[in-house]
Structure 1
């Protein structure tokens, strides 16, 4: 099947336009952070890296009420950045 030059250029422009739209969406998603009431949410991995602690230490903080957390239906725990900063200032 042969197509003429104008048809080819039109198709290429449409493909490039769609790639650019997808690129913008990916960029927006990659810069977007989890937030709750304007406060950034950190997961266990983020917090372990930030505080340089083990998963068991985070569990201990949660059990003793040292660090407030939110638990999702699937079992994942999230921590408000403001609560983490408050804990660091007061407890550590």
Structure 2
């Protein structure tokens, strides 16, 4: 090999390669942090994830559990929720916009002394 054929670590080609590898490593870290493995074809969410997705408080989530609105699995004191159950809850409670009802005017009778 001639000196011109050897790629040096400081060369622009190597810098571009290292930058590309760093970008791939960063993307892989993001995927690993957010990846949820499937159990029986379903994704399970924690209570925190459910409250974030539904924009509800922890207390409201507890109320949904108590009323049987949202099924859950309890493992060692930790509650887990199926993503499919969450989607089902949203579908079942979806309401389309209804036409507004007419407002009824309230008339005040003058008070007589």
TM-score by length of 1: 0.63
The counterpart of 1:61, out of the listed 61, 64, 67, is 64
- Structure 1 regions of 5+ residues with no counterpart? 1-22
For 1:87 and 1:31, locate their aligned partners in 2 and report how far apart those are by CA, in whole Å.
23
TM-score by length of 2: 0.52
- Structure 2 regions of 5+ residues with no counterpart? 1-24, 95-113
Aligned residues: 69
For 1:84 and 1:63, locate their aligned partners in 2 and report how far apart those are by CA, in whole Å.
15
The higher relative CO (CA closer than 8 Å, separation ≥ 6) is in 1
For 1:30 and 1:61, locate their aligned partners in 2 and report how far apart those are by CA, in whole Å.
28
**1:30 and 2:72 matched:** no
Pick the structure with more helix per residue.
1
Query: Which protein is bigger by CA-based radius of gyration?
Result: 2
Label 1:60 to 1:31 Cα distance change in 2 as closer, same or farther (>3 A). closer
